[in-house]
């Protein structure tokens, strides 16, 4: 059967022919001798030691699927393998074993060799392999690059073509990225290493950017996510310093980490994008936070580079939905006024994102932001977590006690997520703290003054919890200084803008096909923003370098949910519903205009819409 080969595979087939290989001949499967293989592993000791744990984790995810996980050096010689017993016999027939060369020159088109030749993740399925002997295989491989951008090895999953799964490549790419980040972390001694992202929850994950600098601030190296976020190549970065890239003098960085409880850094990249970051001093004998290394002299202060004014984090959340715009506007009016804010909404609607934006835009932005999930901490531990404890307060307590999360938020913002799930017995203690602004640790007798702003969030109807005897009414009225409700994703009018914002923030593929957006608009999104972000992350990995997320990149369970959803109403019913909605909108606009004496700007502000929306909705003369 003749079919059109992907361009990458077709190019590889031409190279294979040029190497003098014949598809129907048995290739050279002789492995290296034991001593030669040991020497090769030793030459690649750093790669081997960091890759093997990632291989084991990857293998656990694909075990019993007739697959093997392989690690090769930069030339494509296998250094290590893990595999299912029932597949190893077949693998041995084609020498998927340590010591065998799987470069294109040796084996023709195959995922390992072609990934090296193309310097890109590659899947080779069944008869896309150049050698007929390998047609029973499907292989997915991703190159592993060092901090110079050079390919130093390949991570590969090879298996029976009948067990191929389209998500395998995503797992391989994520594992390769994990290895790269670990190698990067181990590469620099006596250097400042910055971990950063536009979204603070992604710091410490595979999505973070990592950059290293000398103690004097000169640029050393960056990982791939860092290069993407900065929008600069490695050669272009050689002329930069920490200060020119992130808008902060190095002396201010050291000052930040000399404080008692430094939070995340608030930085502005050279391109005007604001990010949050965490810096470490990497010494030859280990890693220290900068404030643990006072003996290192701070470099002389450099003039602060001119950067654009910081964009309001609250404004960044407003992507066009009227209800969300109203919530953001209300919150903006009470920032720094000592008003406790209660955020309500379904799980995943962005309550913590709003809380972080409130903190970042408030006068306390330089103080700590401490988040506590009241539903995630076991009831037996939540009291000590919140209020802290003195030495000997209970069996297993630390020798010198511990400060609680409330004290850790001193000078900043305390975010109490899922406040509706706080045990009833602790609600009285929290009420006292909020009223007196003092904390008494467990086992202690002295009250400690605490200066905090409080933001709470819940997906519960707290009034119903009060009626059921599960929430204190006096605490409810202490918390609801300002109540804002976030709309669920299925009710928001700015879905397209949210999709684009999530893709940009995660440094992923920038475009989603129109047919996919149409499916997104149909979906109920029970997991809201969290579900959408997770789906886009997976789909972006599946899309790889294709530049556009299409239907073929969406997870199967998402498509299954769409198939199971109720059918849309018939056109006549939709038209009638739309007409009723239009009438309601027009009525609200006319009432608002009447209340504001015909002032369109005032009416628009009251409704939380733009003036253009009002002009568009009004009937034409």
Q: What is the mean pLDDT of the chain?
A: 81
**For the chain, percent of residues with pLDDT exceeding 70:** 81
| Fold (CATH) for 188-292 | Beta-Lactamase (3.30.450)
Q: How far apart are CA 349 and CA 529, in angstroms?
A: 5
Domains 489-564 and 571-617 share a fold: no
What is the domain class of 489-564 according to CATH?
Answer: mainly alpha
Q: What is the CATH number of domain 571-617?
A: 1.10.10
Sketch the domain layout of the chain as residue ranges: 7-165, 188-292, 313-485, 489-564, 571-617
- DSSP for 38-62, please give it: HHHHHHTHHHHHHHHHHHHHHHHHH
Does residue 567 carry a pLDDT above 50?
Answer: no
> Quick one: how many helices (H) and strands (E) in the chain?
26, 20
CATH H-level superfamily of 7-165: GAF domain (3.30.450.40)
Q: What is the pLDDT of residue 276?
A: 92
pLDDT level of residue 416 (50, 70, 90 thresholds): very high
> Looking only at Cα atoms, what is the longest distance across the chain?
91
For 431-481, the pLDDT digits (tens) are 988 888 888 887 677 888 889 999 999 999 999 999 999 999 999 999 988
Least confident of 101-110, 124-133, 304-313: 304-313
Are 332 and 357 contacting, i.e. CB atoms less than 8 angstroms apart? no
Q: How far apart are CA 450 and CA 417, in angstroms?
A: 19
Are 266 and 180 contacting, i.e. CB atoms less than 8 angstroms apart? no
pTM, two decimal places: 0.48
Please say whether the structural domain 313-485 has been given the CATH code 3.40.50.300: yes
- What residue spans of 453-570 are helical by DSSP H? 462-467, 473-479, 495-505, 514-522, 528-543, 556-564
For 289-329, the pLDDT digits (tens) are 454 333 334 444 444 443 444 457 888 888 889 899 999 99
């Amino acid at each position: 059967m003749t079919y059109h080969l992907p361009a990458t595979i077709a190019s590889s087939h031409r190279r294979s022919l040029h190497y003098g290989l014949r598809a129907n001949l048995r290739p050279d499967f002789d492995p290296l001798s034991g001593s030669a293989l040991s020497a090769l592993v030793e030459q690649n000791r750093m790669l081997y030691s960091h890759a093997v744990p990632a291989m084991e984790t990857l293998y656990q995810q694909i075990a019993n699927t007739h697959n093997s996980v392989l690690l090769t050096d930069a030339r494509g010689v296998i250094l290590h393998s893990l595999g299912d017993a029932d597949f190893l016999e077949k693998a041995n027939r084609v020498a998927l074993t340590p010591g065998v060369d799987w470069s294109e020159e040796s084996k023709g088109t195959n995922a390992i060799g072609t990934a090296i030749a193309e310097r890109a993740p590659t899947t080779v399925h069944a008869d896309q392999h150049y050698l007929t002997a390998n047609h029973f295989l499907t292989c997915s491989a991703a190159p592993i690059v060092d901090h110079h951008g050079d390919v130093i090895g390949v991570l590969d999953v090879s298996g029976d073509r009948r067990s191929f799964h389209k998500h395998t490549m995503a797992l391989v790419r994520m594992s390769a990225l994990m290895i790269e980040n670990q190698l990067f972390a181990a590469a620099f001694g006596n250097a400042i290493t910055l971990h950063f992202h536009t979204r603070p929850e992604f710091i410490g994950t595979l999505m973070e950017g990592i950059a290293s600098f000398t103690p004097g601030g000169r640029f050393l190296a960056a990982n791939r996510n860092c290069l993407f976020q900065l929008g600069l190549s490695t050669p272009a970065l050689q002329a930069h310093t920490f200060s020119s890239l992130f808008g902060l003098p190095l002396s201010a960085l050291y000052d930040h980490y000399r404080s008692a409880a430094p939070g995340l850094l608030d930085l502005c990249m050279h391109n005007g994008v604001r990010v949050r970051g965490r810096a470490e001093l990497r010494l030859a004998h280990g890693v220290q936070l900068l404030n643990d290394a006072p003996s290192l002299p701070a470099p002389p202060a450099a003039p602060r580079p001119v950067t654009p004014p910081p964009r309001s984090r609250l404004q960044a959340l407003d992507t066009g939905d009227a209800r969300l715009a109203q919530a953001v506007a209300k919150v903006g009016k009470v920032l720094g006024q000592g008003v406790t804010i209660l955020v309500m909404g379904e799980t995943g609607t962005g309550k913590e994102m709003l809380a972080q934006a409130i903190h970042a835009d408030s006068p306390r932005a330089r103080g700590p932001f401490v988040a506590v999930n009241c539903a995630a901490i076991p009831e037996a531990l939540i009291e000590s977590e919140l209020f802290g404890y003195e030495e000997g307060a209970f069996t297993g307590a630390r020798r010198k006690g511990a400060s609680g999360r409330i004290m850790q938020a001193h000078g900043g913002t305390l975010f109490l997520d899922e406040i509706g799930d706080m045990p009833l017995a602790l609600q009285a203690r929290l009420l006292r703290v909020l009223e007196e602004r003092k904390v008494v640790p467990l086992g202690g007798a002295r009250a400690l003054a605490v200066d905090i702003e409080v933001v709470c969030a819940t997906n519960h109807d707290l009034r119903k919890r009060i009626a059921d005897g599960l929430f204190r009414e006096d605490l409810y009225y202490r918390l609801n200084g300002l109540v804002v409700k976030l709309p669920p994703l299925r009710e928001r009018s700015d879905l397209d803008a949210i999709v684009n914002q999530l893709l940009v923030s995660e440094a992923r593929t920038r475009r989603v096909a129109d047919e996919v957006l149409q499916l997104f608009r149909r979906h109920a999104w029970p997991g809201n923003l969290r579900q959408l972000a997770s789906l886009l992350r997976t789909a972006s990995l599946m899309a790889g370098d294709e530049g556009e997320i299409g239907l073929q990149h969406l997870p199967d369970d998402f498509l299954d949910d769409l198939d199971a959803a109720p059918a849309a109403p018939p056109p006549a019913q939709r038209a009638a519903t739309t007409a009723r909605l239009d009438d309601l909108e027009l009525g609200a606009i006319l009432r608002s205009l009447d209340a504001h004496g015909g002032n369109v700007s005032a009416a628009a502000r009251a409704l939380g819409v733009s003036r253009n929306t009002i002009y568009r909705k009004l009937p034409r003369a």
